[in-house]
Amino acid sequence: MNQVGRDIPRLEVRAKVTGRADYTHNLRLPGMLYGKVFRATVPHGRIRCIETGAARAVPGVQCVVTGEDIRKLIAEPYYGPAFHDQPILALDKVRHVGEPVAVVLASDPHVAEHAAQLIDAEYQELPAVYDEVAAMQPDIVVHDMLKPAGTFADLKHLKGRTGTNIALDFHLRRGDVDAALARAERVIEHTFKTQQCLHLAFEPFVAVADPGDGVLTIHTSNQTPSFVRTEIARLFGWPENRVRVKVPYLGGGFGAKVYVKLEALVSALALLVRRPVKIALTMEEQFYMITKHPTTFRIKSGVGKDGRVVARACEVYWNGGAYADIGPRVTQKSGFTAPGPYDIENINIDSYALYTNRTPAGALRGFGIPQLVWAYESHTDLIARELGIDPIDFRRKNILHQNRPQASGTPMTDAAIAKVLDAIAARLAWNKKLDRGSGTVRRGRGVAIGFKASISPTTSVAIVNVAADGSTTLYTSTVDMGQGSDTAFAQIAAEVLDFKAEDIRIVHPDTDVTPYDMGTLGSRSLFHMGNAVRLAAEDARAKLQALAAQAGLPEGTNYPPAEVFKKRFGMQAGNVIGAASFVPTYKSPDAQTGLSDNVTPFWMVGGAGAEVEVDTETGDVRVLRLVNAVDCGKPINPGVARTQLSGAAIMQLGFTLSEAMQLDAGQVTNASLADYKIPGIRDVPPMENELVEAEQHTGPFGAKGLGESGTFGVSPAIANAIHDAVGVRIMELPITAEVVFRALRAQQGRPLEDA
């Protein structure tokens, strides 16, 4: 039976349509207290005092906890995946509006909420910095000293550095950019910007800690249970086996729920009060947790007479907000793809992770890639226009082909870039003329392609347990947050063991039970854990064969496992455990040049094509057609893969046209779904989604992940289409109707003037 490549519904469909699926959101434990966070109201300030008396006096309040209370429990209560820079509750200073300063605990969440409103804090306000380029200057410093976590070797040199907001600077030098630019026929330079936006999973951040008796159990809506266990154990100075992290289904993640978010806070609170503690954020509070990096990207290209790009210099500034989170990884791991999927001899990349006084930024469906593609594909389109070359032809001329080295020096193996571009061009019927509209309604079209490296080096471990009746259970710490990993792993294990995928049961992450996984992020699960599952299933298969041999069954016959067990043990007894780790090889970039010939185990490729209609009287942009194509190797479940692609593209459509966190003196002024507009059902354009025919030879049955790939090309494809339609170029996201209108008026030489 062919299990891989089958379009089976997700395993958990019934639980989800009946409302019975298990989310941390639902969890209540006996004796549980609810915590409500009191948050900073200033963007940058020294804490003078926190007045909690009125809150403590509210009937029903158990206690009010501040950073100093936490410090009595944990001497160094700072956490973070790259830097240990984030206090569990603010200590000494606050660095962004919305930073947690105190928590009220009560058994009634309404009481906790009311009491939290009665807390008052006084600050000595400090000047604040919000812009990533401004933060390059040390005039206003967000952190007095850099505190790298030590888990990343390449951050060690930053330890103890003072007087800077640069959490990481990554540099790549390939060839001789200056010489090549000097020789180039033309040199073209642009600066692009992206806005701060955010994930807004519909199950807002939620975690419950149960102090237990010697073993702390954390139930959490989190994408990285293994990391949470390690980090919480480190904070308390405990061995890992005293921390248990359990994760059911997630009501969305999108990169928000990675590393420690609420877990350190609920754990500390639960240990302080010796009762279970739950904190569930509201939608509004999500605006103060983690966001997507705003960026400024200066890109300069030298082009030869033949239309080949001969040199490219990229300066990328990542606005990481008040705490580094995983920003330094974004800066480096995505940074080296900044020149785009093009074969360019001479490349400079300078990529900077910056602290500012905004809500922290981390990973959001693409780990920085959509910001980069926005810039390099807008830039690419502008170059093609300037040279008078068709934008598809221009890309074809410069594209990276199979096994050619990418900027980092790592070959582009199994990266179907050209195929993705061809698929988009074909679906848009690029060689046919477009009806360009007339009067005040103009049409245009555009394309964009992008790529991404997988995060490396990382480890995934899987266990396959075949019971004596042949029924099989799979243990992994991969979190199914809607991407369908449970289903894909069942299909992979079933393929190896010759079972039916639907019959395999998946045990959800429980670090007491499920083995280590680096995290469900960066589209890595299908490749990394998928390979681990495949190896674990092969291990189980080999053990079943050995068992059959022990039972005296002739070799080469395919006995059902139940018969093998019965024959071997004389009854329905025993089990077979297959286990495997998967750790791809990796070579870290050279400290001087930033180069490495093995920087990623695989490449993701995605692109988009858009046809748009612009109302020139209002600037309103209507997407008439959105074509999305990705290389995901050979899909394990093509149906689920297509919905992933479609969902990613629509999400990126929101980041392109409407979503933006608005700040006024550091205050978020639109922290709600009423004022921060995500795409609704009436915003979805006609779409076509294509998985191009490809194979990832090192992936499980030729597959690799695609959760992010659908986001890559959407924004620049639309900007390119708008340019094609009405001749204006938008350099900054989001592209609202007003932005387009203003550009149109500027183009007409009568800029819209604000009174």
Partner 1 sequence: MIPFEMVEPKSLKEALALLDPQESTVRAVAGGTALMLMMKAGVFTPTRLVCLHGIESEYARITVSAGELRIGAMATLSELERDANVAARLPVLKRAMRTLSNVRVRNVARVGGALAHGDPHLDLPPVLAALGARVSISGAGGDRELPLEQLYSGYYETVLAKDELITAVKIPAQAARKAAYMKVTARSADDWPALGVAVSFAFADGAIRDPIVVVSAATEKVTRMAAAEKVLHGAAPDDATLARAGDAAAAAAAILTDAHGSAAYKRELLRVYLRRAVREALGDGARPVRQ
Partner 2 sequence: MMRTINFTLNGQPVSTAIEPHRNLVELLQRFDLFGARESCGQGLCGCCTVLVDDMAVSGCLYFAVWVDGKSVTTVEHLDAEGSLSVVQQAFIDCGAFQCGFCTPGFVLMTHQLLKAYPNPSDDDIRHYLSGNLCRCAAYPEIIEAVKLAARR
The verdict on 49 binding partner 1 (CB under 8 A) reads: no
CA distance 367 to 385: 29
What residues between 626 and 665 interact with partner 1 by CB under 8 A?
654, 657-658, 662
The verdict on 60 binding partner 1 (CB under 8 A) reads: no
CA distance 304 to 557: 64
Which amino acid belongs to residue 402? Q
The verdict on 114 binding partner 1 (CB under 8 A) reads: yes
The verdict on 436 binding partner 1 (CB under 8 A) reads: no
The verdict on 110 binding partner 1 (CB under 8 A) reads: yes
Binding residue for partner 1 (CB under 8 A) from 169, 620, 688, 732?
A: 620
The verdict on 19 binding partner 1 (CB under 8 A) reads: no
The verdict on 110 binding partner 2 (CB under 8 A) reads: yes
CA distance 748 to 746: 5
The verdict on 675 binding partner 1 (CB under 8 A) reads: yes
- Which runs of E-coded beta strand occur in 468-535? 472-475, 505-507
Binding residue for partner 1 (CB under 8 A) from 670, 685, 727, 732?
A: 670
Please name the helix (run of DSSP H) or strand (run of DSSP E) that holds residue 219, with its range, or none: strand 216-220
**What is the SS3 assignment for 15?**
helix
Q: Which of 708, 732, 738, 753 is catalytic?
A: 708
Rounded to the nearest 10 degrees, the angle between the axes of helix 391-398 and helix 369-387 is 110
What minimum distance in Å lies between the beta carbon of 200 and partner 2?
Answer: 6
Binding residue for partner 2 (CB under 8 A) from 130, 249, 367, 741?
A: 249
Residue span 116-135 as binding mask against partner 1, x where in contact by CB under 8 A, dash where not = -x------------------
CA 574 to chain centre: 41
What minimum distance in Å lies between the beta carbon of 669 and partner 1?
Answer: 7
The verdict on 21 binding partner 2 (CB under 8 A) reads: yes
| Number of neighbouring beta carbons within 10 Å of residue 597 | 12
**What is the SS3 assignment for 172?**
strand
Longest dimension (CA), the chain: 91
End-to-end CA distance of the chain: 70
| Number of neighbouring beta carbons within 10 Å of residue 140 | 17
CA distance 645 to 721: 21
- 240 a catalytic residue: no
**What is the SS3 assignment for 543?**
helix
Closest to partner 1 by CB, 547 or 733: 733
Candidate segments 5-13, 122-130, 462-470, 600-608, binder of partner 2 by CB under 8 A: 5-13
433's contact among partner 1, partner 2, none, with CB below 5 to 8 A by partner kind, is none
Cα dihedral 388, 389, 390, 394, rounded to 10, equals -150
615's contact among partner 1, partner 2, none, with CB below 5 to 8 A by partner kind, is partner 1
**What is the SS3 assignment for 667?**
strand
The verdict on 754 binding partner 1 (CB under 8 A) reads: yes
What minimum distance in Å lies between the beta carbon of 544 and partner 1?
Answer: 54
Rounded to the nearest 5°, which phi and psi values hold at 753?
Answer: -105, 130
Binding residue for partner 2 (CB under 8 A) from 684, 732, 742, 745?
A: 684
CA distance 702 to 695: 5
Cα angle at 364 between 359 and 366, to 5 degrees? 145
Closest to partner 2 by CB, 203 or 708: 203
Active site residues: 708
**Which residues of the shown chain bind partner 1 in the complex (CB under 8 A)?**
110, 113-114, 117, 441, 615, 617-618, 620, 622, 654, 657-658, 662, 669-670, 674-675, 677-680, 682-683, 736-738, 741-742, 752-755
**Which residues of the shown chain bind partner 2 in the complex (CB under 8 A)?**
9-10, 12-21, 23, 25-26, 28, 110, 199-204, 249-254, 282-284, 481-484, 639-640, 643-644, 646-651, 672-674, 678-682, 684, 687
